[in-house]
Amino acid sequence: MRRVPVLLLLLMVAGMLTPSYAEAQTIPGVTFGGQVGTYGEFYGVNGTDRRRPPASARLFLRPTLSVYDKLTINFDFLLSTENRAFQSSARQSMNQYAIHPEWAWGAAHIGDYRDTYSPMTLAGVRVRGAGFAVWRGPLRFAALGGKTQRAVPGGATTGRFERNLFGGMIGVGDPTRSSIGLIVLRARDAVDSRALPEDSVPIIDPQPDTVFVEDTLQVGVTSNPFAVTPQENLIIGLAGNIELFQRALSLRGEIAGAAYTRDMRTDEIESEDVLDRIPGLVRWMYTPRVGSTVDYAYTLEATARIAPLTATATFRNIGPGYVSLGVASMQSDLRSMQVSTSLRFRRWNLRLEGSQQHDNLIGQKVFTTKRTRVGAALALRASRFWNATFRTNFAGLNNDAPDPEHWIAYRSWIFGTNQALVISRDKLFRSASVAYTYRTTGDENTARVQSESASHTLNVRVLMNLTADLSLTPSVGLVRSRFGEQAWAMRETYALGAQLRLLRGKWTTSLALGSSQVNQTGSLQGTVTSRYQLTRRDAVTLVARASDYANSLDVEQDFQEYMVTVRWAHRF
């Protein structure tokens, strides 16, 4: 448990000594640079449970080594004490260690990194392992392997099995212009990385399923021991793009098939009739089990550019059984069409967009839900001093449920405008802006009359230069709203911002104060940010925040929250 502080100290010393050594030892053709720094946070709260550890610290080290402009090696190290504050065995690790060498015809990754093959196969998932990509002429090849999550005790919210991901891609062409690539990914959880429950009876979990600190919550919550299951996934996809007519027309497409098992503890399929219908390559890479699903997804996108017009149309189909454990977030059982158009001129531009999607692609649900969105935005530069924007947006959510309890016919309209006036950089009043928004929502189902709402929002902001080094920004926000059959309510927000520059810009301090009141509930927030440039390469930043929430009808709901952060960064 004491290794983390020791590593923090060693890396800090190494980060401070490395720049001095690099400056003293000049090697022809070799350049060294980067950044090292620390971040500390202190947090306190009165009147409610705290949502962060009382104190935490981070150390980051990001050096870059370049050799004759032929090889560049980026290092990325991040150590945090938050793992211990939140019980490191009950959360994913926040520490990161990575090395990223790059050269003219390739790149590699060692440690923690994120890579993207395509939106439906691999995107947004952090891998702790190794990967590389090489390209020679028209050929491209990439591969990766590692751990995407570690085993964590808990329930459906935080509990996890250890998961490993391996895969690769073979492609031809230039991805920025015209190319096509074959992608294969395989993700598999380690069944023995967590203790398996003996039965399906709900139990009292000795470790609460929460991300909060242990002593702020009650001990013991009801947990389903089968809520977290070991999963397995195989993805085979084809992604490509093509540019035509000197890039006036761009086409992008992707199709992928997925085999997915939610619980690897289920029995393997033994029926020869079923197994004969599965390709041998898939059976070699993936084990079909009772409850396994196979489905596909595809995307088609076309973009036309004929100045001053740009138009894009996207069609997407994701089957209900399509799952990719290499994508951070993806909604399945979805078919959508999205169209957007923009016109750009010197003084104005117009953007129109619309989309519609629905689920229940194979009719296995009782009803189908449709979502519709239409929007327009106009930006106008009326003069050198006046800019204006106008926007409107409609969103609808409907289904064909036969009973009033589940029937939804929701709609929402938004109309807004923003007027900005730039007066002068040298006068007392530098600029001013006024923004107004009207929003209305409702549902045709009379059983949901409480979901109806309407609101008017007005924000006014003025920027004032008191001196060359001191500026003030007062602002006022008013929101008049009504929900259901309730009376109209007014929310008032008053804020004041200030910025002071001293010592020829080396020391910059800003202050933000805000007060908000709605009915019997009020809040007061204050933030002070101060940054001082110690040397040409060193800077220290201090941020202090305080919030006070008060309810005049129920003092038990009152609470205060405080946070102070200190950051030191050194460039070398």
Please compute the mean of the pLDDT values over residues 231-236 and round it to a whole number.
94
| Residue 450 DSSP symbol | G
If you search the block for the tokens 């001013």, which residue do you land on?
A: 432
Rounded to an integer, the average pLDDT of 187-199 is 79
Q: What is the pLDDT of residue 9?
A: 52
Of 109-123, 271-285, 512-526, which gets the smallest average pLDDT? 271-285
For the segment 174-183, what is each residue's pLDDT rounded down to a tens digit? 888 899 999 9
Is the pLDDT assigned to residue 193 strictly greater than 60?
A: yes
**Same domain, residue pair 75 and 205:** no
pLDDT tens per residue across span 211-232? 333 333 333 444 566 678 899 9
The conformation of residue 210, written as its DSSP 8-state character, comes to -
10-14, 168-172, 498-502, 509-513: which range is least confident on average? 10-14
Same domain, 100 and 139: no
Backbone angles phi, psi at 279, to 5 degrees: -55, 145
Residue 461 lies in a domain: yes
Confidence tier at 21 by pLDDT (50, 70, 90): very low
Alpha helices in 296-435 (DSSP H): none
The residue among 288, 307, 332 that closes a domain is 332
Do 108 and 121 fall into the same domain? Answer: no
* Same structural domain, 426 and 353: yes
Look at the chain and report how many structural domains it folds into. Answer: 4
Which amino acid would we find at residue 524?
A: L
Q: How confident is the model at residue 478 (pLDDT cuts 50, 70, 90)?
A: very high
Q: Is the pLDDT of residue 210 over 60?
A: no
Mean pLDDT over residues 379-394, rounded?
93
Please tell me whether residues 175 and 307 are part of one structural domain.
Answer: yes
Instruction: With respect to residue 338, please indicate whether it lies within any of the assigned structural domains.
Output: no
**For 480-516, how does the pLDDT look when each residue is reduced to its tens digit (9 = 90+)?**
999 888 888 898 899 999 999 998 889 999 999 998 8
Q: What is the mean pLDDT of residues 412-434?
A: 90
Contacts of 542 (CB under 8 A, 6+ apart): 528, 529, 530, 531, 564, 565, 566, 567
Whether 179 and 283 share a structural domain: yes
Per-residue pLDDT tens digits for 82-107: 765 444 455 677 788 999 999 999 99
For residue 324, the enclosing domain spans 116-332
Kindly tell me if the per-residue pLDDT of 197 is higher than 80: no
Scored b (16 or more CB within 10 A) or e, 536-559 reads: eeebebebebebbbbeeeeeeebb
Please check whether residues 268 and 146 belong to one and the same domain.
Answer: yes
Q: Which stretch, 326-330, 344-348, 350-354, 503-507, has highest mean pLDDT?
A: 350-354
Q: Answer yes or no: is 473 within a domain.
A: no
| Mean pLDDT taken over the chain | 86
Q: Label residues 24-46 b or e (16+ Cβ within 10 Å = b).
A: eeeeeeeebebebbbbebbbebe
pLDDT for the residue numbered 282: 77
Can you give the pLDDT at residue 13? 52
**Whole-structure pTM value:** 0.81
Residue 479 lies in a domain: no
Among the candidates 67, 95, 114, a domain finishes at 114
Looking at 109-113, 231-235, 514-518, which range is the least confident one?
A: 514-518
CB-based contacts of 297, cutoff 8 Å, min separation 6: 120, 255, 256, 258, 316, 317, 318, 319, 322, 332
Residue 542, domain member (yes or no): yes
